[in-house]
Structure 1
């Protein structure tokens, strides 16, 4: 039996309780956080997509990026500006603006801006949850140009410990 011979499942009725979402980094509903040396805007949250995905605008200064990690959800990055060095299963690749990178679930990876200039990318995670994790681990800031908080060494250690403690709840593992 071919795929064309099978009856397609019915498309569910429209859910009028879900609304159109229009998001931008300057939108009044956008939450900004400082995390992993970068400034992240929560553009589309899991709450808005019924948990299907989230979309995060990431502004990564030179030297910024998360530690090596892995998680059981798909993660896709589209570089809007600059370039980022991605490490995927131990192999480094430099990716430039205009490129899209998909990280398969469970694969060890991280990224770092080693370009000497700022970079910006969109990150989509499916299903959602990374947005909630980032909000619980990062520090809220006023906007894209707001400086990161000045943290003491003890406060930085507390942030790293909180990220490690919460990672399993969000299906992630810091390596």
Structure 2
């Protein structure tokens, strides 16, 4: 048991109140909308917290990264693929993805899904800011992309992925 005394309160840090429907960054990405509730700047790099709105058919491609990721479904249901095994996750349930494990989530239903995503340590939000597009609200979809724009987006995401310790895969 560690008996080292607790450090003093860091008075340079403040309480953060985040309102998902408030004036926060709403990022349109792969047809989904991600609202950055807490960033690494808010948590001294410990984690980020993202409110995700996933329309029917939405969700990211198969991928993996070197940070822990936890999802809590608030509304709807989604299919999570973890190391090739599919699991249906319902509102009120939480799943945890260990660092480096191949995974994907997908909204296979006909209703939007809302979930909270916690990434530890922080950093994933920076990737989303760099590759996504700002949208006005938590549920505003990103603008549709032409085939050329989709190709350019895919290329940009692939090029930036190593910077954010992420790898896109053929299958989760």
Task: State the SS of the aligned residue for 1:95.
Answer: strand
Aligned counterpart, 1:106: 100
**Aligned residue-pair number:** 169
Structure 2: runs of 5+ lacking an equivalent: none
Matches within 5 A, 1:136-175: 136-175=130-169
Please give the alpha-carbon distance, in whole angstroms, between the structure 1 residues aligned to 2:80 and 2:44.
Answer: 30
Conserved? CA contact 2:32–2:141, under 8 Å: no
Q: 1:57 aligns with which of 39, 51, 55?
A: 51
Please give the alpha-carbon distance, in whole angstroms, between the structure 2 residues aligned to 1:158 and 1:147.
Answer: 19
Aligned counterpart, 2:18: 23
CA RMSD between the two structures: 1.0
Q: 1:134: how far off?
A: 0.5
Q: 1:61: how far off?
A: 0.4
Aligned counterpart, 2:6: 11
Task: State the SS of the aligned residue for 1:132.
Answer: helix
Q: 1:160: how far off?
A: 1.1
Cα deviation, 1:34-61, whole Å, max 9, x if unaligned, reads 1122111001011111110000000000
Structure-1-length-normalised TM-score = 0.93
Structure-2-length-normalised TM-score = 0.95
Task: State the SS of the aligned residue for 2:127.
Answer: helix
Aligned counterpart, 1:74: 68
Task: State the SS of the aligned residue for 1:162.
Answer: helix
Conserved? CA contact 2:68–2:97, under 8 Å: yes
Task: State the SS of the aligned residue for 1:8.
Answer: coil
Q: 1:14: how far off?
A: 1.1
Structure 1: runs of 5+ lacking an equivalent: none
Q: 1:157: how far off?
A: 1.0
